[in-house]
Structure 1
Amino acid sequence: MVMDEPLEFEKEEDPLLPTPPPAKRKKVIGLDDLLLDFFETGKDERRRKAKGAKSNTHDSRGYGSDDDDSRVKENEISFCKIFEVCQEETKGLDARDDVPPWGQQIFGCQKPPSNLSDTGIENCRLLQSFCSSEHLGFDLEIQQGEGFLEGMLMDGWLLKLVHMGGSVEDSVASWALTKLLYSSNKKLQVSATDFWDSILSLDEDDKLLVNLGYFPSYSVLKHAILSYGYLFETPGTKASTFESGIEDSSDVGPPHNIIAWLRIVSACCKIRKARSIFSPSEAEELLVIVISLFLDRGLEGLMLVLGDCLNSLVLYFNTREWESNCVMVAESIAQRVTMDLNCLRIVDCITGTNKRSKFLRSQLALQLLKISFGLKVGNVEKMLKLVTSINVKEKECDFFRLYVYLVLMDNLLFSSDAFRDKTMIVDTWRNYLRNCSTQIPFTNWGFYAPKVRNKASYLLQGAIFKKSGGDGSVSAR
């Protein structure tokens, strides 16, 4: 043994040392690599089988390598032809205009409000009492009065003085409402909104907490929403889609005071027991405005405020007024919204679980279907027959329009309880949903065909006949 050579145990590998990990394959493999690997594997396997058969049988007629190469090439050519056919079919399906997403332009260019300086606040007794007081420690002039009141409003002192006095002067109430609707100062706007929320609150006996002679009128609120650039008020005209909006401008889009506007409308509706601020027709128009705001994508972050205002307006009507006014609201909305994803958005935004909200959702679906089919009378049986007559097996079937019809028809039949007792209608609808979910093959790549199949399957699970209390019949107009 040579002294310089290592010992026997030093030549052995240390068992405690980790073994090197095996080389990893590439995570991303291209389609060409997969095809090449497949054909090469098949070629080697055929050659191996051919050699084995030749050695076992000693048959001189065994397959040669030239035959294998020709067969592999034929398979490659066949596969490429199939792939080209599928690619051409896919291009044909993509050669269409995509349905635009929901969203319509509800607000255009905002107009500057007029006569905001002429509020008459300098003549209010509250401000004059501060000007004539000798115990303030500073001299307050009438010209500085509005700035002084703004500070009191934002600090909460104005509200405290109102609660201590138990009443609000008309000039102070009108001035605070003007700040609420038009002020660009965010803190002042929020403070004015909180001020009005407080003075429009009711006690346990459903009476106002403070004496109030001035209330926000419909004309003032309507003038404000129009000055915000509201575009949805003209009957018979469709609002433009969101993508085709007017040129970019800082004056275009949802106004900064829209939250305050929604909160004051909601507060006015909640004191109906103490004071009816709006007539039924005025409340009807306000309800149309609020529902239309759900189509503005710029207001997606205000769903809670919009939902609260919508629910307050729905509950504002008494029982005698509700059914007729609900039909008028549904007709007005249906004449303005487009028959695409926007009409589905309008129906889905009515999320209330009370009977009135369900009835409104059902009426919206009824009027939209009525206009789409060009019917003068909302005959539900005829609408159902027209929808169920659409054959999903036809090549020219418009699956997108069928998708819209499925959603609207299901809301019409099952949002309210009006049709739950009509077994023939419910069974007809369930059978058609079953046909849509089973007769559209998974290989159908038609536009919206998979969505119709999946939607029909989903709706079929909910289309279960249940006996429940009705909330009024659906009117046919």
Structure 2
Amino acid sequence: MVMDEPLDFEEEDDPLFPAPRPTKRKKVIGLDDLLLDYFGTGKDLRKVKAAKTKHGPMGHDSDEEDKKGREDEICKIFEDCEEKAKGLDARDDVTPWGQQIFGCQKASSNLSDMGVENCQLLLSFCASEHLGFDLEIQQGEGFLEGMLMDGWLLKLVHIGGSVEDSIASWTLTKLLYSSNKKLQVSATDFWDSILSLDEDDKLLINLGYFPSYSVLKCSILSYGYLFENPGTKASTSESATADSSDAGPPHNIIAWLRVVSACCKIRKVCSIFSASEAEELLVIVISLFLDRGLEGLLIILGDCLNSLVLYFDTSEWESSCVMVAESIAKRVSMDLNCLRIVDCITGTNKRSKFLRSQLALQLLKINFGLKVGNVEKILKLVTSINVKEKECDFFRLYVYLVLMDNLLFSSDAFRDKTKIVDTWCNYLRNCSTQIACTNWGFYAPKVRNKASYLLQGAIFKKTGGDGNVSAW
């Protein structure tokens, strides 16, 4: 016996532990494997049907014919499903929201010949003998730029309590057109400060020059603003500016928004814009929400929008709101862009809610070709859409549902009209129940889910709750 070999009892199985059962290997057969086996290995029912021969007595032939009939029926069902699947895949998806608001930017001629060298502040520095250096008039603008960026110009203005018109005009031009980021931000902070009010709602600085509508409008047009002309579908004009390096959101748009907002906040002291001018500025600011390049500026855009909404007098607001809503509705198509433009008005004050409701009304009115914005007639047209019809355009219905909900519940104008609210709730209930779960038509599931969601919100608001149902 070799010493290294195991003993006899060591080779025996331990009786206390049962022997492990042999593992069974399971093969998972997926649907793809079955289809490959069905079509690739000759098991296609159509191939089997063609290859089989008749054998046996007449009774067996009858069974064989029944089997062939069932096979033909299965093949037909399969082919129908295949055609429907191809039809779903062939549809065009809805383009995402977004319009090209800015095109090619133009070089401004306002940066030259500013005349700032004749300002009293600069002349006083040139004539001073206590500076310790000689300052020439030709170096004046560069000297002022340094003072502006270092904050000394603002400190001198606060000490003196006033701003010369030439200095105010020069800093505004730098704010609107300068490509120097630091200079642009410093000019914006300068104007934010001199347009601030004290505790008595009075300007901290005596100011004779204010940013006018014409100056602001000229600057936004030089940025390449395209939303001005009615019917401009900026999303279809991308090829015109695709090859230009100057296309896209301008670098000075943040400064432009901030100075517009600052001008609106001093309405109690000085009405810089007329009602019609404020309307056009409001249309411009709302349209900027459609530019995907400005998504990072939603807070600044929202602040400017809210400042413009609150700028109007109480007597002006209702008519101005309708004018703004009509102007925007003529320029926005009935797709996800119109939902985006309604949803961007997020203010919780009564004016913002009324603007959102009016914008939804004007969009629906233009879509249905109505000259008068009759809510009852629009409601009748929307609720007449039968979701059971095969030709039902579920995407357009989805847009209608969101706009109607904003029209009826953004403001309090229709909350007490029980008949209108009940009609709308009944239609939402029909949309949520009459669209089958097996209906996978384009946007059909989204309409069903959105209708169910809006119905819950409508019932909550009807019972006295408050809150806004988002359009997204």
**TM class by shorter-chain length?**
0.7 to 0.9
Tell me the CA shift for residue 420 of structure 1.
0.3
Query: Is 2:280 the partner of 1:297?
Result: no
Instruction: Tell me how far apart the structure 2 counterparts of residues 199 and 378 of structure 1 sit (CA, whole Å).
Output: 44
Instruction: Tell me how far apart the structure 2 counterparts of residues 114 and 26 of structure 1 sit (CA, whole Å).
Output: 77
Tell me the CA shift for residue 110 of structure 1.
1.1
Say if 1:3 and 1:191 are closer, same or farther in 2 by CA, change over 3 A.
same
Query: Is 2:103 the partner of 1:116?
Result: no
Tell me the CA shift for residue 401 of structure 1.
1.0
SS in 2 for 1:463: helix
1:324-376 per-position Cα deviation (integer Å, ceiling 9, x unaligned): 10011001111111111111111111111111000000000011111111111
1:117-164 per-position Cα deviation (integer Å, ceiling 9, x unaligned): 121110111111111222222221111111111111111111111111
Alignment of 1:344-363 (within 5 A): 344-363=339-358
Instruction: Tell me how far apart the structure 1 counterparts of residues 76 and 393 of structure 2 sit (CA, whole Å).
Output: 30
TM-score normalized with structure 1 length: 0.84
1:237 aligned residue (217, 231, 236): 231
Query: Is 2:327 the partner of 1:332?
Result: yes
Among the aligned pairs, what percent are the same residue?
83
2:389 aligned residue (385, 389, 394): 394
Query: Is 2:178 the partner of 1:206?
Result: no
Say if 1:457 and 1:102 are closer, same or farther in 2 by CA, change over 3 A.
same
Tell me the CA shift for residue 36 of structure 1.
8.1
Instruction: Tell me how far apart the structure 2 counterparts of residues 377 and 383 of structure 1 sit (CA, whole Å).
Output: 10
Tell me the CA shift for residue 210 of structure 1.
1.0
Query: Is 2:451 the partner of 1:456?
Result: yes
Query: Is 2:133 the partner of 1:138?
Result: yes
Tell me the CA shift for residue 74 of structure 1.
10
2:62: which partner in 1? Answer: none
User: Which amino acid is 1:254 matched to?
Assistant: P
Query: Is 2:436 the partner of 1:441?
Result: yes
2:99 aligned residue (104, 121, 132): 104
1:251: which partner in 2? Answer: 246
Tell me the CA shift for residue 109 of structure 1.
1.2
Tell me the CA shift for residue 257 of structure 1.
0.5
Alignment of 1:252-291 (within 5 A): 252-291=247-286
Instruction: Tell me how far apart the structure 2 counterparts of residues 95 and 35 of structure 1 sit (CA, whole Å).
Output: 22
2:402: which partner in 1? Answer: 407
1:293-349 per-position Cα deviation (integer Å, ceiling 9, x unaligned): 111111111111110000000000111111110011001111111111111111111
Instruction: Tell me how far apart the structure 2 counterparts of residues 32 and 320 of structure 1 sit (CA, whole Å).
Output: 69
Instruction: Tell me how far apart the structure 2 counterparts of residues 10 and 286 of structure 1 sit (CA, whole Å).
Output: 95
Query: Is 2:315 the partner of 1:320?
Result: yes
2:88 aligned residue (71, 88, 93): 93
1:71-124 per-position Cα deviation (integer Å, ceiling 9, x unaligned): 999999876664443221011123333322111121111111123212111011
Aligned-residue CA RMSD (Å)? 3.0
SS in 1 for 2:240: coil
1:125: which partner in 2? Answer: 120
TM-score normalized with structure 2 length: 0.85
Bigger mean CA deviation after superposition, 29-38 or 328-337: 29-38
Say if 1:299 and 1:375 are closer, same or farther in 2 by CA, change over 3 A.
same
Instruction: Tell me how far apart the structure 1 counterparts of residues 85 and 348 of structure 2 sit (CA, whole Å).
Output: 43
Could you tell me whether the CA contact under 8 Å between 2:110 and 2:173 is conserved in 1? no
Instruction: Tell me how far apart the structure 2 counterparts of residues 26 and 189 of structure 1 sit (CA, whole Å).
Output: 69
2:61: which partner in 1? Answer: none
User: Deviating runs (4+, > 3 A) in structure 1?
Assistant: 7-14, 22-27, 34-38, 71-84, 242-245, 466-469
Say if 1:194 and 1:82 are closer, same or farther in 2 by CA, change over 3 A.
same
Say if 1:25 and 1:110 are closer, same or farther in 2 by CA, change over 3 A.
farther
User: Which amino acid is 2:210 matched to?
Assistant: F
Query: Is 2:6 the partner of 1:6?
Result: yes
1:54-80 per-position Cα deviation (integer Å, ceiling 9, x unaligned): xxxxxxxxxxxxxxxxx9999998766
1:432: which partner in 2? Answer: 427
Instruction: Tell me how far apart the structure 2 counterparts of residues 187 and 220 of structure 1 sit (CA, whole Å).
Output: 22
Could you tell me whether the CA contact under 8 Å between 2:382 and 2:400 is conserved in 1? yes
User: Which amino acid is 1:208 matched to?
Assistant: L
